[in-house]
Amino acid sequence: MEALKIGIVVSDAMGCLVSPGLSKAPVRYKELEKAFNLCAKSGYDGVELFVDKPENLDATKILALAQSHHLEITALGTGPMYARRGLSLSAEDSSTRSKTLSALRHCISLAESFGSLLTIGSIRGKSRGGDSRLKALKRVGEGLGILDEWASHQGVKVLLEPINRYETDLINTADHALSMIKNLSLTSTGLLLDTFHMNIEERSISDSIRKCKRSLLHLHVADSNRWPPGYGHLDFQQIIQTLRAVNYEGYLSSESLAKPDRVTAVKMTATYLRGLIKKSLVQTE
């Protein structure tokens, strides 16, 4: 059985482990190269890029930089487009939804160039509460349907991520995300699960992984306090054993706070996860 691969989120968001200058104008590719170098030297197999202005990125240059450091580009994260630009699939304003879909179409093209996944997390937005929640969910569903069709034509997989109730009131659990995919008959959309969100919303992380095994394409890892794995109370050895049991072939992609400091977190996360993966291999022999 092959060892699981580990990756890390590369983002300019405050507190993120690796800051690459992707949100600067113009894009600071020297910063990106330094970020890739740190990831590669720390032992990661891939990087997950969080973007807010996909139309500004040179896919050929970024892919060449990643390949020169023997890194895969595992996924494109879209959260910064919501946090910084206010783009949202659930926005009441049709102009905002149109701009959101246009930006996400750029992301699909980038993902096709990189051979990566495309994540839909916080960019779904949130409702204003009350009756508007159902209307907001309907708008999200309409957007997901459009994205799924575009992605299918370009050979890209879209990932729907359940996010905890304190950050959004739309799609909080794995069950709800699975139901959305099924009810909308989405054929190019799978699941991205995140251990931090699951610790809040799921009764059992391992049971939810087993339930989602056919749709799970990517996994974000952070501990119970959003610190790197090993700094909280989550049982990552059990999580990895469960992933092996369901024949998961995707990445363990670190999305945690830069605690106790950026460099330590990057290096210790890789060391910790590698140790657990190695132990799981021994246990299955």
| 124-171 pLDDT per residue, tens | 999 976 669 999 999 999 999 999 999 999 999 999 999 999 999 999
Cβ neighbours of residue 141 closer than 8 Å, sequence gap 6 or more: 180, 183, 184
What sections of the chain are H helices per DSSP?
29-42, 59-68, 79-85, 94-114, 132-153, 174-183, 195-201, 205-211, 236-245, 262-284
pLDDT at res. 244: 95
What is the C-alpha separation between 152 and 158, in angstroms, rounded? 9
- Give dist(CA 136, CA 48) in Å, integer: 28
- Give the per-residue pLDDT at 1: 54
pLDDT given for residue 261 in this prediction: 86
The ranges assigned to domains in the chain are 5-284
92 is catalytic: no
Q: Please give the structure tokens belonging to residue 90.
A: 């659930």
Catalytic residue among 33, 48, 72, 161: 161
Q: Quick one: pLDDT at residue 14?
A: 47
Q: What is the model's pLDDT at position 118?
A: 98
- Provide CATH code, domain 5-284: 3.20.20.150
285 catalytic per annotation: no
Query: Taking the model in full, what pTM does it have?
Result: 0.95
Residues of the chain with pLDDT under 70: 1-2, 12-21, 23-25, 129-131, 284-285
- C-alpha atoms less than 13 angstroms from C-alpha of 23 in its C-beta half-sphere: 19
User: Which is the catalytic residue, given 33, 201, 202, 255?
Assistant: 255
Give residue 30's pLDDT. Answer: 85
Which residues are 149's β-sheet partners?
none
